Amino acid sequence: MRLIEQIRDAGVVGAGGAGFPTDRKLNCKAEILIINGIECEPLLRTDRHVMEQYGDEIVRTVRSIRDALGASRAVIALKKHYEAAVSALEKAVKGTKVELYLSESFYPAGDEQNLVFSVTGRTVPTGGIPLDVGCVVCNVSTVLNIARAVEGHPVTDKMVTVSGSVTAPVTVTCPVGTPLARLLDAAGGSVGDCVYIVGGPLMGKVTEDLKQPVTKTTGGLLAIPKDHMLLAKKKASSRDAMIARAVCSQCSLCTQMCPRNAMGLNVQPHRAMRAFASGSRELLGDVNGIFSCCDCGICTYFACSFGLKPSMAMQQMKNSLAAAGIKPVKEVKYPPDGGMANKRIPTERLLWRLDLKRFDREAPLGGYVDSDEVRIPLKMHIGAPDIPLVSPGDRVRREELIARPDGLGANIHASIDGTVTAVTEDYIEIRR
């Protein structure tokens, strides 16, 4: 199939998640294609800018993907308050039979399985993927990369929102491999003594290393003051189990507010806290639901009245089960919660609770941030690191293939013209 070959050659991966190779995802037949433009995490603006600027390209490419999948429906999902993006897409979808799904602003509206349920009413089973219920989900930025792949251009750039405690929040495009420090400079630098979150405020990773490169999946860079409460919640501590043992009242509010549990997937963080505090796995009960935890963090960042960290307990339980060789059983344990809509957390309320509302500012498009040096990771995707095709001293051109996978993975291309200055098992460095 020509489209799949073009996507594979261009090295397209899921731009909004873990980087699953898109040629593998789309090499199937499905009933419904869902394009995710929700932008799940607060403070980020990347996906809405993509929809505002490239509405026609997005819709044209969605139609091609729909036809390749043999899908009867194609739906672009975005939040209804993205007014400019809604306007652009409403014009672009006229006469195409591509649908728009306009969501309220709640967290985590953009979670893949939550989105499938919202659009179709179908629940993806524990241990399953959207294809198990006839759906394929693609991020809207991934679709833009597919549009470029069809035109013969590989993935060499990434659009990133730079926000938080910065002088002037901005959304920029840069070469893959650009140091994060270059993006921070584009926003006028940080205000105060900060550390940084790569990604969104809830599910992103904390770092102090601004030499770290932008990858194919980087969506945000947030500057957060070092004394901010969010950082304490994101940091694991050896005292967590002791505090849980002393404080957790087993009120089960974390479970009651869990979006995956509301879909009938039996995700019960309060049981994980019970087992975490006591060290007894028997107190977990049915462990299968743990595999359906999406690490959204609602239990930690919003539900728990005592400031405990049920999401970290869930992560540890998932890791322990995987290490023990226990695999999920595909099932939907219960019918969906009829009161699910009443349990949704408005994004605005979440921002106030986490003292992030002061950082909720527009991040307008700021153009292209170039770099004279890039360090391109060999693993920006699900699968093994790519095999380098270049050596130190080689001259390369932008868009030239410099690494390819041996098995599951995605092609990697030079993002700037220059000379290869280093090749390691982790990255390829290029300088102009």
Domain of 326, CATH number, reads: 1.10.1060
d(CA 315, CA 326): 15
Q: Read off the DSSP letter of residue 166.
A: B
Domain end point (choices 118, 150, 182) = 150
Nearest to 356 by CA among 155, 211, 201, 243: 201
Domain limits for position 307: 240-347
Question: Does 410 lie in the same domain as 343?
Answer: no
Question: Does 382 lie in the same domain as 294?
Answer: no
Question: Does 420 lie in the same domain as 308?
Answer: no
Asked whether residue 35 carries a pLDDT value surpassing 90, the answer given is yes
**Is residue 355 included in any domain, yes or no?**
no
Question: Does 300 lie in the same domain as 255?
Answer: yes
**Is residue 309 included in any domain, yes or no?**
yes
Q: Record the pTM.
A: 0.95
Q: What is the dihedral of CA 63, 69, 70, 74, to 10 degrees?
A: -40
Query: Could you tell me if 291 and 253 are in contact, meaning their C-beta atoms sit under 8 angstroms apart?
Result: no
CATH number at residue 69: 3.40.50.11540
d(CA 202, CA 118): 21
pLDDT digits (tens, 9 = 90+) for 348-393: 999 999 999 999 999 999 999 999 999 999 999 999 999 999 999 9
> Which H/E stretch holds residue 137?
strand 135-139
330-341 average pLDDT score: 94
As for how many domains the chain has, the answer is 3
Amino acid at 312: M
Q: What is the DSSP string of 377-416?
A: ES--SSSSPPEE---TT-EE-TT-EEEE-SSS---EE-SS
Q: Helix (H, G, I), strand (E, B), or coil: what is residue 34? A: strand
Q: Counting Cβ atoms within 10 Å, is residue 54 exposed (0-12), middle (13-18) or buried (19+)? A: buried
Q: Helix (H, G, I), strand (E, B), or coil: what is residue 324? A: coil
pLDDT digits (tens, 9 = 90+) for 163-204: 999 999 999 999 999 999 999 999 999 999 999 999 999 999
CATH number at residue 213: 3.10.20.600
Question: Does 255 lie in the same domain as 377?
Answer: no
Asked whether residue 241 carries a pLDDT value surpassing 90, the answer given is no
Domain end point (choices 111, 133, 150) = 150
The string over 300-309, giving b where at least 16 C-beta atoms fall within 10 Å of a residue's C-beta and e elsewhere, is bbbbbeeebb
- Residue 116 gets the label, from left (phi > 0), alpha (psi -120 to 50) or beta, of alpha
- CA distances 63 to 21, 22, 95, 138, Å, are 20, 16, 12, 13
Question: Does 164 lie in the same domain as 144?
Answer: no
Question: Does 188 lie in the same domain as 224?
Answer: yes
Residue 280: pLDDT band with limits 50, 70, 90? low
Question: Does 141 lie in the same domain as 8?
Answer: yes
Does residue 17 or residue 110 have the better pLDDT? 110
Asked whether residue 279 carries a pLDDT value surpassing 80, the answer given is no
Query: Could you tell me if 372 and 355 are in contact, meaning their C-beta atoms sit under 8 angstroms apart?
Result: no
Tokens of 404: 């390819």
Give residue 235's pLDDT: 83
Residue 248: pLDDT band with limits 50, 70, 90? confident
Question: Does 93 lie in the same domain as 63?
Answer: yes
- Residue 335 gets the label, from left (phi > 0), alpha (psi -120 to 50) or beta, of beta
Strand 170-175 versus strand 157-164 pairing type? antiparallel
Asked whether residue 18 carries a pLDDT value surpassing 90, the answer given is no
Residue 100 pairs in a beta bridge with: 76
Give residue 320's pLDDT: 86
331-337 average pLDDT score: 95
Asked whether residue 17 carries a pLDDT value surpassing 90, the answer given is no
Asked whether residue 21 carries a pLDDT value surpassing 90, the answer given is yes
Question: Does 402 lie in the same domain as 325?
Answer: no
**Is residue 354 included in any domain, yes or no?**
no
Q: Which residues contact 41 (CB under 8 A, 6 or more apart)?
A: 107, 108, 110, 199, 200, 201, 202, 203, 204, 219, 220
Give residue 239's pLDDT: 72
**Is residue 352 included in any domain, yes or no?**
no
d(CA 40, CA 112): 9
Question: Does 167 lie in the same domain as 92?
Answer: no
> Which H/E stretch holds residue 321?
helix 310-323
Residue 247: pLDDT band with limits 50, 70, 90? confident
**Is residue 356 included in any domain, yes or no?**
no
**Is residue 353 included in any domain, yes or no?**
no
Residue 211: pLDDT band with limits 50, 70, 90? very high
d(CA 237, CA 230): 14
Average pLDDT across the chain, whole number: 95
Q: Counting Cβ atoms within 10 Å, is residue 365 exposed (0-12), middle (13-18) or buried (19+)? A: middle
**Is residue 96 included in any domain, yes or no?**
yes
∠ at Cα 29 (25, 33), nearest 5°?
Answer: 70
Question: Does 192 lie in the same domain as 306?
Answer: no
Asked whether residue 240 carries a pLDDT value surpassing 80, the answer given is no
Asked whether residue 283 carries a pLDDT value surpassing 80, the answer given is no
Asked whether residue 274 carries a pLDDT value surpassing 90, the answer given is no
Query: Could you tell me if 332 and 265 are in contact, meaning their C-beta atoms sit under 8 angstroms apart?
Result: yes
**3-class secondary structure for 217-254?**
CCCEEEEEECCCHHHHHHCCCCCHHHHHHHHCCCCCHH
Domain end point (choices 316, 347, 378) = 347
